[in-house]
Amino acid sequence: QVQLVESGGGLVQSGGSLRLSCAASGSIFSINAMGWYRQAPGKQRELVAIITSGGSAHYTDSVKGRFTISRDNAKNTVYLQMNSLKPEDTAVYYCNADIVRRTVLATTTEEVDIFAESRDGYWGQGTQVTVSS
């Protein structure tokens, strides 16, 4: 019922740029933080950047000054602009979103919905970024 679809990965030379996009769709009431993680071969998945619904962003040290995370709340989409790419940025990049869903259980005679609310983290399928030296 909730899907995150990433796009924008590819092969680029060292020093080049790429822009990743991740669109969330489905039964969504609201989205809290959205972020980008990456996993290189043989390594653990690590946080790259995260942004709150209000636009406050945090970056891991290795990408500060080179990557910029942004989001369009109206489109439920998060972006990652990656500049000055290095071979060590090569990894599969995953989008993550903290999503609130509401399910209507019943409607009162006063036309007020009674709902259940859930909050879960969702992941995209990943997109490969390869930086050649």
Q: Which tens digits make up the pLDDT trace of 2-39?
A: 999 999 999 999 999 999 999 999 999 999 999 999 99
Q: How confident is the model at residue 1 (pLDDT cuts 50, 70, 90)?
A: confident
Whether the predicted pLDDT of 50 surpasses 90: yes
- What is d(CA 127, CA 90) in angstroms, rounded to the nearest whole number? 11
- Cα 47 off chain centre by: 11
Sequence-ordered list of residues with C-beta below 8 angstroms from that of 5, at least 6 positions apart, any chain = 22, 23, 25, 124, 125
Sequence-ordered list of residues with C-beta below 8 angstroms from that of 13, at least 6 positions apart, any chain = 131, 132
* One-letter identity of residue 7: S
Q: Percent of the chain having pLDDT more than 90?
A: 96
Q: Which tens digits make up the pLDDT trace of 66-100?
A: 999 999 999 999 999 999 999 999 999 999 999 99
Q: Which tens digits make up the pLDDT trace of 103-132?
A: 899 999 999 999 999 999 999 999 999 999
Average pLDDT, the chain: 96
